[in-house]
Amino acid sequence: MKKILSLVWLLAVVLFQLISCDNTDSHENNHTESVTPPAQISYSVIKSYPHDTGSFTQGLEVYKGVIYESTGNPDNVPNNGGWIGKLNLNTGIADKKAMLSTAFFGEGITILNDLIYRLTWQNQKAFVYNIKNMKPVKEFIYQGEGWGLTNDGSHLIMSNGSNIISYRDPQTFKEIKQLSVYDNTGMRNNLNELEFINGDIYANVWQTNQIIKIDTAAGRVTGIMDLSDLIRQDPTLSAPPTDVLNGIAWDSSKQRMYITGKKWPKLFEIKLN
């Protein structure tokens, strides 16, 4: 009798688990299907500027009216390394400062309270510089890869190439919380360069011509800027040695966005419509 009851109990447990799995899958599918697709974000090109095709752009930032750029160095060119510099819009050439040795691969930057924070790709180290003299003042260690970086005035906001965005303490670089980014198709991976604009996060999606707009409350993608037409209309943006779209900077005083790409010959000033 005990064996029969045990068998009945086992069958009931298995049946319950199967039903639970079906319900979970159904719930996940319904959740994805119920997500509103991102809206298309239209834009107008105000002006284009020259950009140094030797710059493998990893970060772009407007701070107190000055555009700063950070680069990596995939070719390990001596004395080029990764650098941070003030960008001259008229020439496209940056005043290279805060150099990195070729032992490090420079990634995104952000500027908060006159300090420049810079990520490295796989070195798991962040560097901090005084913006007045570009001298290093601090270093942090973190786990995983570093890709893009921005801030909301209180926290550093970092991407690592996945769908996860992490908020970090600017004093310690300790992770405070994570934001999982998704849209109606599922998780959005390959998040790269970031920019915090009017309460939302804008992110380059690596290997695409898209910049997505992310709701910081839930991580949902609410908008997509597709720059395919811009690139298609200008053959210089897809000819060698150019690489992918990467680089978003926001000038809050003019309510204008600046975008460029790795080794692009141009940088664009854009108005969001």
pLDDT in tens, 233-242: 999 999 999 9
How high does pLDDT run on average in the chain?
A: 89
DSSP 54-71: T-EEEEEEEETTEEEEEE
Place 221 in a pLDDT band, splitting at 50, 70 and 90: very high
Sign of CA dihedral 120, 124, 128, 133: negative
Higher pLDDT, 29 or 216: 216
The model's confidence at residue 1, banded by pLDDT at 50, 70 and 90, is very low
**Once rounded to an integer, what is the mean pLDDT over residues 162-183?**
98
Lowest mean pLDDT among 13-22, 82-91, 259-268: 13-22
**Residue 90 in this model has a pLDDT that exceeds 90:** yes
Domain at 38-272: CATH code: 2.130.10.10
Q: What is the pLDDT of residues 104-126, one digit of tens each?
A: 999 999 999 999 999 999 999 99
pLDDT score of 272 more than 80 = yes
SS3 of 96, please? strand
CA distance 193 to 202: 8
Domain ranges of the chain: 1-34, 38-272
Give this prediction's pTM.
0.87
pLDDT of residue 78: 65
Candidates 125, 153, 151; CA nearest to 140 is 125
Q: Please state the rounded mean pLDDT for residues 215-225.
A: 97
- Counted residue by residue, the chain has a size of 273
Give 102's pLDDT tier (boundaries 50, 70, 90): confident
Would you say 112 and 170 are in contact if contact means Cβ atoms under 8 Å apart? yes
Pairing between β-strand 39-40 and β-strand 221-226 as defined by DSSP bridges? parallel
pLDDT one-digit tens code per residue, 4-62:
334 434 444 334 344 344 433 333 334 566 899 999 999 999 999 999 999 999 999 99
pLDDT at 9: 43
